Amino acid sequence: MTQIDVDKCKMTHYPAAVLGRSAEPVEQIDETIHRLVAKMTDIMIENNGVGLAAPQAGVGLRLFIISLDGSRENVRTYINPTVTTAGDLDEKEEGCLSVPGVWTKIRRHMRAKVTATDLEGNEFTEEADGLYARCLQHESDHLDGMTVVNRMGAAAKIAHRRQLKKLSERQ
């Protein structure tokens, strides 16, 4: 596992290279992973999010957090998650903390199932629908090197081209 300087972790914006690569599995849940999750929670809350994947904090590991109400108390950790989808597709407006200023319609499955490990090393499986299913799919995308930019249609890319160009120039 790569060395992680948790103190240097910060919100990472499109088109940062870490956002476009598949993340590596977490090999060991140690003090560094606990500190990383705490830092990711701070970043998510500061940015008014409901989920954050490790690549969004600049770390290429298969780990994300979700708190559907955006609160620290309800943060759940998903280490080395596997997300499978089911049900019909639904198109809803979606934003991403790594692509600020862009909200676009994204088609996602209405149901999902996740199997992951928590911070205590316990494996769990949950079924999800609605916002929870959408969040699982969104954060799982980040672990596979995808952002909402990869999922938006041609018309949306044209509509958001100025903001995407601005983000690209900031890198």
> Which pLDDT does position 3 carry in this prediction?
77
**pTM reported for the whole predicted model:** 0.96
Contact 28, 62 (CB under 8 A): no
Average confidence (pLDDT) per 10 residues, the chain, 171 residues? 84 97 97 97 97 98 98 98 96 96 96 98 98 98 97 93 93 72
> Which pLDDT does position 54 carry in this prediction?
98
Q: Does the annotation mark 24 as catalytic?
A: no
Counting other chains too, the contacts that 124-131 makes at CB distance below 8 Å and 24 or more residues apart are 129/87, 131/50, 131/68
> Which pLDDT does position 170 carry in this prediction?
85
> Which pLDDT does position 2 carry in this prediction?
56
Q: Give domain limits for the chain.
A: 6-170
Among 31, 120, 126, 139, the active-site one is 139
CATH number of 6-170, picked from 3.90.45.10, 3.10.20.80, 3.90.420.10, 3.30.420.40: 3.90.45.10
> Which pLDDT does position 171 carry in this prediction?
72
